[in-house]
Structure 1
Amino acid sequence: MIFTLSLLTLILESLSLYVINFDVFVEGSWLYYFITHGLASLCFTCLCWLFLSPSHKKHGITSLSFVLVISFCMPIIGMIGLVFSLVLALNLPKPQKNYEWRSIEQLVLPKSPEAPNNLSYGLGSLRGILSFTDNEDQRLSAVNAIRYLPEKEAIPLFKIALNDLSDDVRLLAYSSLDKIEFKINETIEHLQKKLAQKPTAVTAHQIAQNYWELYYLGLAESPLKDHYLVKAREYLLKACAYEPLPKVNLLLGKVLLAQEDYSQAIDSLEQALKGGLLMKQVAPYLAEAAFMMKNYTKVRQYMMYLPQKQGNSLSELRSFWNE
């Protein structure tokens, strides 16, 4: 049957090509072509039916119509394409391995990881454990693991743990936050003694930097946060009196922005520019000050200095203002 249909398809398609390439067309030549080509397409459709998989044979009319239309509308090319795309592809599929299940190792929160990068859980997982897990031991293990993360990432998670129903979880979170704050305050105290012995702009800037870190990390409530800003500003002004370093003026600009003193912040940031800092280092803060002062034209100008690299959060901001 297969041989017969293949031979008929070949003969009829050859006749159709002979008719259409005949030197002198007689009346009804096109009719002869369509009849022979149509019969060839019909034979080819029946031939393809024999090779179709059972799943495709369930949709008999649809499958046959598709093969017939393609082979009729695309002489030769359509048949060759169908042979490779349907017959060969459907009967010689890529071998697949069916895995119904896969065994994986159960992850356990480490009590003392060697480094934060070795932590198998991400920030989202740790946040989910603290917020939704009923198991107190697992929440306690999560807080213990968070202690080995960078302070900027760990502090928001510790604040979630402060609202935990378990006393042990809350106490561990409190002690961890207190340890971070104590460490920074200890550094400040050491630097203040150093500044008293030998006043320098660098030491005063380091003290202000630590006060700024206490504010930025959000370790305290509003009144104490305001105090941190006041102290940071005080030491930065001292540093400027000793030596107006560009990094001192940049940090002073950030502090003034946090205190909502925008005009003074712009002056300090411009001084940082004059001191040698690049415009792209200062532009985001100048743009913030201009935005808060409702000077949107300046904001657009400053946005032009932000990086254009895709995936950078500042580049997205730049695109927003340019549009």
Structure 2
Amino acid sequence: MKIWLILQTILFESASLYLLGAQDLSLLGWLSYAGSHGAAAGTFTFLCWLVLPGKYKQPVIASMAFIFVIAFSMPIVGMLGLATIFITALYFPKDKVVALWKRSDVLELPLHPDQMEHAHYGAAALKDILLFNPSNERRQIAVNACRFLPEKVAIPLLKLALTDKVDDVRLLAYAAIEKIEFSINRQIEVLKKEKSPERASLHFQIAELYWELCYLGIADGPLRLHYLEQAKSYLLKAQELRPSPRSELQLGKVLLELQDYDGATQYLEQALHSGLLMKQVAPYLAEAAFAQGDYDHAALLVSHLPTEKGEALNELREFWRRETH
């Protein structure tokens, strides 16, 4: 049928062109031309409508009228143009665009430590759940999952959970923080009961555990101050028994937290002279200088920080470099 329609279209259009080429067309000649050209446009319209995809055939009258008007109003040109468009669209279609997103099921939060390694949830995802997820049960599971993260990462998330409006979420977070604090304090008690207490390494270990309670952010207010004083006391005992750059550096960091900047600078410089690298001590010396208002010296010390791209210390170094130039 399509071949028959093509032959009819060619025949009618050829006849119309023959009539149009005659000289001094009468009214009858013009009517004959219009009839022949209209028949060609009609058969062409029906042919085009047949080859169109189903979704473009509806509504029938509108789609056929569009083709007919173009084919009739532009003899030859309209038909050739539409034929070219349809052939190109049907036989050389545009490549399908690959979907940029895909639907996925809601992932389950891990309930056991061995599942955490294979989970898609990290600290940022757990934080979003604790902040924005409307499900109380989901937030409780997130708090439980935080227990399998490193303590430095888990503590801020658990503290965030302490502000939750649901009692069960708050209690679960408090229990997780208390468990970490109890574990560290138990280690301290075990070390204090050692039979050979006069060892520098033992005092240093105890001081580091007290420092960890503060560093992790478990303790606040007077309790934090107490832990810092205990760390300072044990580090001083370690220094008396056996001075070392490591204990001097740690003592400097503790004194910085206690806002004893002169004492912190003294021990940090001792650590530097004892063999530590400048980049290990420079951040803390710069902090002490900044707190004391010695900004030029702080900028000089910051210039010794590492230069790896993306590092937070590198960003700090670049900031001070711009400020002093």
What is the match of residue 119 of structure 2?
Answer: 119
Q: Does 1:163 align with 2:163?
A: yes
The question of whether the paired residues in 2 share the 8 Å contact of 1:209 and 1:232 is answered with yes
The unaligned stretches of length 5 or more in structure 1 are 1-90
Q: What displacement does 1:121 show?
A: 1.6
The residue identity in structure 2 corresponding to 1:143 is V
Q: Does 1:237 align with 2:239?
A: no
Q: Does 1:185 align with 2:189?
A: no
Please give the residue correspondences for 1:30-45 in structure 2 after superposition, counting only pairs within 5 Å: none
State the distance in 2 between where 1:222 and 1:143 align: 24
Kindly, what percent of the aligned residue pairs are identical?
A: 50
Q: What displacement does 1:101 show?
A: 6.6
What is the match of residue 141 of structure 1?
Answer: 141
State the distance in 2 between where 1:258 and 1:185 align: 20
Q: What displacement does 1:182 show?
A: 0.5
The question of whether the paired residues in 1 share the 8 Å contact of 2:191 and 2:202 is answered with yes
Relative to structure 1, is the Cα distance of residues 301 and 115 closer, same or farther in structure 2, using a 3 angstrom cutoff?
Answer: farther
What is the match of residue 71 of structure 2?
Answer: none
Q: Deviations over 1:240-278 (max 9, x none)?
A: 000111100000000100011101100000111121111
What is the match of residue 246 of structure 2?
Answer: 247
What is the match of residue 218 of structure 1?
Answer: 217
State the distance in 2 between where 1:93 and 1:317 align: 54
What is the match of residue 19 of structure 1?
Answer: none
Q: CA RMSD in A?
A: 2.0
Q: Secondary structure at the match of 1:107?
A: coil
Q: What displacement does 1:140 show?
A: 0.8
The question of whether the paired residues in 2 share the 8 Å contact of 1:162 and 1:174 is answered with yes
The residue identity in structure 2 corresponding to 1:307 is P
Relative to structure 1, is the Cα distance of residues 116 and 249 closer, same or farther in structure 2, using a 3 angstrom cutoff?
Answer: farther
State the distance in 2 between where 1:94 and 1:235 align: 75
Relative to structure 1, is the Cα distance of residues 314 and 98 closer, same or farther in structure 2, using a 3 angstrom cutoff?
Answer: closer
Normalising by structure 2, we get a TM-score of: 0.67
State the distance in 2 between where 1:149 and 1:101 align: 29
The question of whether the paired residues in 2 share the 8 Å contact of 1:136 and 1:166 is answered with yes
What is the match of residue 75 of structure 1?
Answer: none
Q: What displacement does 1:290 show?
A: 0.5
Please give the residue correspondences for 1:1-323 in structure 2 after superposition, counting only pairs within 5 Å: 95-99=95-99, 102-114=102-114, 116-194=116-194, 197-323=196-322
The residue identity in structure 2 corresponding to 1:227 is H
Q: Secondary structure at the match of 1:197?
A: coil
The question of whether the paired residues in 1 share the 8 Å contact of 2:110 and 2:116 is answered with no
Normalising by structure 1, we get a TM-score of: 0.68
State the distance in 1 between where 2:178 and 2:279 align: 36
State the distance in 2 between where 1:189 and 1:100 align: 56
Q: What displacement does 1:92 show?
A: 8.3
Instruction: Name the stretch that deviates more: 313-322 or 240-249.
Output: 313-322
What is the match of residue 26 of structure 1?
Answer: none
Instruction: Name the stretch that deviates more: 112-121 or 127-136.
Output: 112-121
Q: Secondary structure at the match of 1:114?
A: helix
State the distance in 1 between where 2:238 and 2:183 align: 23
Relative to structure 1, is the Cα distance of residues 101 and 320 closer, same or farther in structure 2, using a 3 angstrom cutoff?
Answer: closer
Q: Secondary structure at the match of 2:252?
A: helix
The unaligned stretches of length 5 or more in structure 2 are 1-90
The question of whether the paired residues in 2 share the 8 Å contact of 1:211 and 1:232 is answered with yes
The question of whether the paired residues in 2 share the 8 Å contact of 1:115 and 1:148 is answered with no
Q: Secondary structure at the match of 2:307?
A: coil
Relative to structure 1, is the Cα distance of residues 97 and 276 closer, same or farther in structure 2, using a 3 angstrom cutoff?
Answer: same
Relative to structure 1, is the Cα distance of residues 107 and 264 closer, same or farther in structure 2, using a 3 angstrom cutoff?
Answer: same
The question of whether the paired residues in 2 share the 8 Å contact of 1:113 and 1:119 is answered with no
Q: What displacement does 1:186 show?
A: 0.7
State the distance in 1 between where 2:152 and 2:253 align: 18
State the distance in 2 between where 1:232 and 1:157 align: 26
- Runs (4 or more) in structure 1 with deviation over 4 Å come to 91-94
